[in-house]
Amino acid sequence: MLNAQDRAIVKATVPLLESGGEALTTHFYKLMLSEYPEVRPLFNQANQASGDQPRALANGVLMYARHIDQLEQLGGLVGQIINKHVALQILPEHYPIVGSCLLRAIEEVLGKATATPEVIAAWGAAYQQLADILMGAEEGLYQQKAQAPGGWRGARAFRLAARVQESSEIVSFHFAPVDAGPVLKAEPGQYLGVQVLIEGEEHRRNYSLSALSDGAEYRISVKREAGGKVSNFLHAHLQVGDTLNLFPPAGDFTLASSDKPLVLISGGVGITPTLAMLDAALASGRLVHFIHCARNGALHAFRDWVDERAARHPQLKRFYCYAEDDGVSSPADALGLLSKDQLGQWLPVERDLDAYFLGPKGFMAVVKRHLKGLGVPEQQSRYEFFGPAASLE
Ligand SMILES: Cc1cc2nc3c(=O)[nH]c(=O)nc-3n(C[C@H](O)[C@H](O)[C@H](O)COP(=O)(O)OP(=O)(O)OC[C@H]3O[C@@H](n4cnc5c(N)ncnc54)[C@H](O)[C@@H]3O)c2cc1C
Ligand code: HEM
């Protein structure tokens, strides 16, 4: 527990973080990634270049400083961070590196006149307190995943058992463990950590499980990103029989048990976790409205897969919205961008429902606003990012 003086000093720096937090975390990443090459593979360089990761960290640090007196009010933030960390295998030995670079960045960005020895000492103690909370929670998750049936800790070698082209941009990869043992059953909505070596350089990425795990193998479905390192490598080079390492599934964007109607809304490759959620919900007999938006029919993955389920399960209603008509694919239920009126027509009449959505950031901001405007209680509308968390406001 921090002493009262340290807490007061940390709280007094909140206005500085509000105005300069991003400059500080950007400087922090520059220091750390240039001086500690061993942590580079953990970080997606694209998220540094876009500024998304420095922003996510700045927000985390700011929320922590604001709530230093009532850490329980950090709510979902800690769960989100530890799940991301666990899926990328962040370990206790990484924390002192982050701690020392963060303190140096505070000193170098704020200047010695503001970042006095007292300020640095208070932030050092505050960092250690948060690091202890995160390391403790992460160790709990690592142990839980290692001890569960089919579970493991760290990297485990998997062989590509099958690859399936799902749309012009998305390929599914089915992985079975090289040791032929069982695999941990993930919760619908969780994601794996993938570790690959490309031209001798290690990269790690997260991919959502696009099917319920059956205890024997996993399926992920990857969109080829223009200029993207790992997605292009997987699409172009990973063939049946090849091996790579996977970290155990993690993630807190999971389908909570409920008997309310379920609405799953996705844009593009954001469809992946909603597929596992769909099967879990159908198995429990829930009413499901499945809404998917794609740029056009050629880019629409899993249409047949969802249609086949809709044919078998009368409690599943599915709606498709294409930004444009490609003139060849089966028609959508609506054309253009998803409007509030259209969404209103596709939601169950009863608005006391659970909504889960995922897609590009702009799409999610619109969906969030529409759901609220259409009377869906905000706390019943959940989402996740295929990258560092950001604000949708
Ligand atoms: C929880 C979670 C679940 C996810 N699930 C899925 C999923 O189910 N399916 C899926 O396809 N993806 C998923 N993702 C996204 C996935 O992890 C990768 O981010 C995605 O595949 C892109 O990785 P990449 O290596 O191909 O591209 P990157 O190399 O990361 O590049 C991404 C983009 O940034 C650009 N870029 C790269 N470096 C720079 C630079 N230095 N300057 C400027 N621009 C740059 C690239 O051109 C590209 O357009 C998920 C992400 C998370 C966090
Ligand atoms: C107290 C210390 C730490 C805090 C407050 C913190 C905070 C965060 C936050 C807020 C995110 C974004 C979460 C999200 O997008 O959902 C994140 C992601 C991440 N963190 Fe940490 N973190 C800490 C320590 C560490 C350490 C020690 C490492 C390893 C060196 C690390 C590596 C990562 C990585 C690799 C990601 C994902 C980055 C990406 O997607 O590009 N973190 N962390």
**Closest approach atom of ligand 2 to CA 102:** 2
Q: What is the DSSP string of 202-249?
A: EEEEEEEBSS---SS-EEEEEEPPTT-HHHHHHHHH--TT-EEEEEEE
Contact of 220 with 210, CB cutoff 8 Å: yes
- Which whole number is the average pLDDT over 118-131? 93
Most informative mutation of 10, 47, 59, 81 for ligand 2 (most atoms within 8 A of CB): 81
257-261, 284-288, 325-329: the lowest-pLDDT one = 325-329
Look at the domain 156-250 and name its fold. Answer: Elongation Factor Tu (Ef-tu); domain 3 (2.40.30)
- List, for residues 200-248, the tens digit of each pLDDT value: 999 999 999 999 989 999 999 999 999 999 999 999 999 999 999 999 9
The catalytically annotated residue of 29, 138, 142, 383 is 138
Q: In this predicted structure, what is the pLDDT of residue 378?
A: 95
**In Å, how far from its chain's centre is CA 231?**
16
> For the residues 6-31, what does the mean pLDDT come to?
89
| Residue owning the nearest CA to atom 30 of ligand 2 | 94
pLDDT at 59: 83
Stretch 357-364: mean pLDDT: 97
Task: State the residue for tokens 């420095």.
Answer: 54
Separation of CA 313 and ligand 1 centre (Å): 34
The reported pLDDT for the residue numbered 16 is 86
Closest CA to 99 of 36, 160, 144: 36
Residue 233, φ and ψ in degrees, nearest 5:
-60, -45
68 or 300, higher pLDDT: 300
Percent of the chain with pLDDT over 70: 100
Mean pLDDT of 170-191: 97
Which ligand is located closest to the Cα atom of residue 61? 2
Which residue owns the Cα nearest ligand 1 atom 44? Answer: 46
Q: Within 10 A of 10 (CB to CB), how many other CB atoms are there?
A: 24
pLDDT of residue 50: 87
Nearest to 321 by CA among 356, 360, 279, 290: 290
Residue nearest to atom 50 of ligand 1 (CA): 386
pLDDT of residue 325: 92
Whole-model pTM?
A: 0.95
User: Average pLDDT for residues 103-109, to the nearest whole number?
Assistant: 92
Residue nearest to atom 9 of ligand 1 (CA): 222
Q: What is the CATH number of domain 4-147?
A: 1.10.490.10
Residue 318, pLDDT score = 98
Residue 185, pLDDT above cutoff 90: yes
Other Cβ atoms less than 10 A from the Cβ of 222: the count is 27
Q: How confident is the model at residue 54 (pLDDT cuts 50, 70, 90)?
A: confident
Point out the catalytic residue in the list 64, 95, 142, 191: 95
First to last CA, the chain: 34
Catalytic annotation present for 308: no
Q: What is the pLDDT of residue 62?
A: 84
CA atoms within 13 A on the CB side of 383: 28
CA 229 to CA 155: how far, in whole Å? 20
Q: Residue with the nearest Cα to atom 13 of ligand 1?
A: 207
CATH architecture of 262-383: 3-Layer(aba) Sandwich (3.40)
CB 2 within 8 A of CB 68: yes
State which ligand 1 atom lies nearest to the alpha carbon of 233: 26
Query: Which run of H or E residues covers position 318?
Result: strand 316-322
State residue 377's pLDDT score.
97
d(C-alpha 102, C-alpha 39), whole Å: 14
Position 78 pLDDT exceeds 80: yes
Asked about 36 being catalytic, the answer comes back as no
Task: Indicate which residue's Cα is closest to atom 37 of ligand 1.
Answer: 46
Give dist(CA 385, CA 364) in Å, integer. 9
DSSP lists the bridge partners of residue 227 as none
**Edge-to-edge strand ranges of the sheet holding 201-208:** 201-208, 191-198, 243-250, 156-165, 170-177, 218-223
Contact call for residues 266 and 292 (beta carbons, < 8 A): yes
Lateral strand order in the sheet of 262-267:
334-335, 316-322, 288-294, 262-267, 354-358, 381-383
**Span from the CA of 230 to the centroid of ligand 1 (angstroms):** 8
User: pLDDT band at 1, cuts 50/70/90?
Assistant: confident
Q: What is the CA radius of gyration of the chain?
A: 22
Which residues, at least 6 apart from 187, have a Cβ–Cβ distance to it below 8 Å?
Answer: 249, 251, 254, 255
The secondary structure of residue 301, as a DSSP letter, is T
3-class SS of residue 108? helix
3-state secondary structure of 170: strand
Interval between CA 91 and ligand 2 midpoint (Å): 11
What does the pLDDT read at residue 201? 94
pLDDT band at 98 (very low <50, low <70, confident <90, very high): very high
Ligand 1 atom closest to Cα of residue 251: 1
Say how many Å lie between the CA of residue 81 and the centre of ligand 2.
Answer: 6
Rounded to an integer, what distance in angstroms lies between the CA atom of residue 340 and that of residue 369? Answer: 9
Nearest CA to ligand 2 atom 38: 43
Q: How far apart are CA 45 and CA 40, in angstroms?
A: 8
CB of 289 closer than 8 Å to CB of 347: yes
Pocket test for ligand 2, best of 2, 98, 192, 383 (most atoms within 8 A of CB): 98
Q: Is residue 120 helix, strand or coil?
A: helix
Task: Give the residues surrounding ligand 2 with Cβ less than 6 Å away.
Answer: 39, 42-44, 47, 53, 56-57, 60, 80-81, 84-85, 88, 90, 94-95, 97-98, 127, 130-131, 134, 388-389
Residue-range domain boundaries for the chain? 4-147, 156-250, 262-383
**Is 190 within 8 Å of 249 (Cβ atoms)?**
yes
Ligand 1 proximal residues by C-beta, below 6 Å: 44-46, 49, 191, 205-208, 220-223, 225-232, 269, 272, 386-387
- d(CA 272, ligand 1 centre) in Å: 15
Report how far residue 123's alpha carbon sits from residue 28's, in angstroms, rounded to the nearest whole number. Answer: 14
Ramachandran bin of 116, using left for φ above 0, alpha for ψ from -120 to 50, beta for the remaining angles: beta
User: Over 90: is that where the pLDDT of 390 sits?
Assistant: no
Q: How far is the CA of 120 from the centre of ligand 2 (A)?
A: 21
